[in-house]
A = this chain, B = another copy of it.
């Protein structure tokens, strides 16, 4: 029986696996983590609004009813397209058809040393580390007697104003100004500085029209976030006095979060096929790679051009659509007795719009309506839309209910349930 291997159980890989549940194939899903993660809400774990279990679900559990599917927890090191073999830390795995869906990781544009000072936000461990630093900064500020050091401890810099950057900056400002304000005796947390730095001339530069970017900037400003546009970070330094350099200017801050660049997962390089400058694999219109019709690349790792010439954005709906598209090709070809096989269709992204939340009752949305016309939404309506859509797409019904309850609670009581500092050097047991 044809053996389909899917590497990566993100949105694209999982959708392909689910779609192939009844196909006449044997499926192996490989992931280095045991859980699927709902990444669009990861910033809420980083900012102590949700627990990891709210937005992640065990891959085995999700696929337990797929009798033709096996799950392996393993780290993939390389792929040999010619011999159809994958090398993993659990030994080699061979395939007939491969769906590569390992997504993207942070890119520091060549400054990898920055990653220790300015962590990015891609995994649960990243989120818990950012949460730990963020909560410890207020603890340290409470004890600090030197004014300039205290100011640096209470300065938060978010680099990159895409949805993750905007959402993280908004959440930090909101917490400092409301949730924890009464918790401290020596500092006024509402005096915390939150700075959002963006290289382009507006926040949310892709996927949103300019007037919604402007609205988001105003919303952020009204919450006290300092938005710096057309600004490029030239250096980030750690140590005793961590800071961000913008040309000659230095901003001292103990909390720096990287939400700027992404690059394709490094395993793609082992395929030896052309990639774009961000390391994404340039795929054929059917999402296969050149000369290997049995190897598909989907999700954030794929560089795809729509039939109309526009690029497909690296967003969840695109990943899901790619996973479904490839699964349908495999399903059709496995069931087909035609020879030669019928020509494959070309992938085309169906844009469902863009949403970003900024804070309590504040969000922007740009949704398609009647064909290509897009309707902008702002304020409470956009925020409710954002919440509804995100809750709806959570992987499990249980999470949907629990997250909704957490949000309702937080909305009413201005509180955050997950303000826990776990692990990390400062809290390890010493006995």
Give min CB distance, A255 to chain B, whole Å: 16
CB-defined contacts of A71 to chain B, threshold 8 Å:
183
- Tell which of A58-66, A218-226, A349-357 binds the partner: A58-66
CA distance A60 to B401 in the complex (A): 28
Shortest distance from the beta carbon of A37 to any chain B beta carbon, whole Å: 9
Looking at the complex, which of A14-22, A291-299, A414-422 is the stretch in contact with chain B? A414-422
A34 at the interface (CB under 8 A from B): yes
**Is A32 a contact partner of B427 (Cβ separation < 8 A)?**
yes
A83 to B45, CA, bound (A): 44
Scoring A residues 404 to 424 as 1 if CB is less than 8 Å from chain B, else 0, what string do you get?
011001000101011111110
Which of these, B53, B135, B142, B406, contacts A418 with CB under 8 Å?
B53
Q: Are B143 and A72 in contact (CB under 8 A)?
A: yes
Could you give, for residues 52-80 of chain A, a 1 whenever the CB lies within 8 Å of some chain B CB and a 0 otherwise? 11101010110011000011110100000
Chain B CB within 8 A of A185 CB: yes
Q: Is A428 an interface residue (CB 8 A)?
A: yes
- The interface residues of chain B lying within 8 Å CB-to-CB of A211 are none
Main secondary structure of the interface of A (DSSP, over half): mixed
A409 contact set on B, CB distance < 8 A? 398
Whether B64 lies near A33 (C-beta < 8 A) is: no
User: Does residue A123 face the partner (Cβ distance < 8 Å to B)?
Assistant: yes
Q: Of A53, A266, A406, which is in contact with the most chain B CB atoms at under 10 Å from its CB?
A: A53
Instruction: Answer yes or no: A96 CB below 8 A from chain B CBs.
Output: no
User: Residues on A close to B: CB < 8 A?
Assistant: 32-35, 51-54, 56, 58, 60-61, 64-65, 70-73, 75, 90, 105, 123-125, 128, 135-136, 139, 142-143, 180, 182-186, 265-266, 398-399, 401-402, 405-406, 409, 413, 415, 417-423, 426-431
A-B contacts, 10 of them at CB < 8 A, read A34-B420, A61-B180, A61-B183, A72-B142, A72-B143, A125-B423, A125-B428, A266-B431, A398-B417, A405-B405
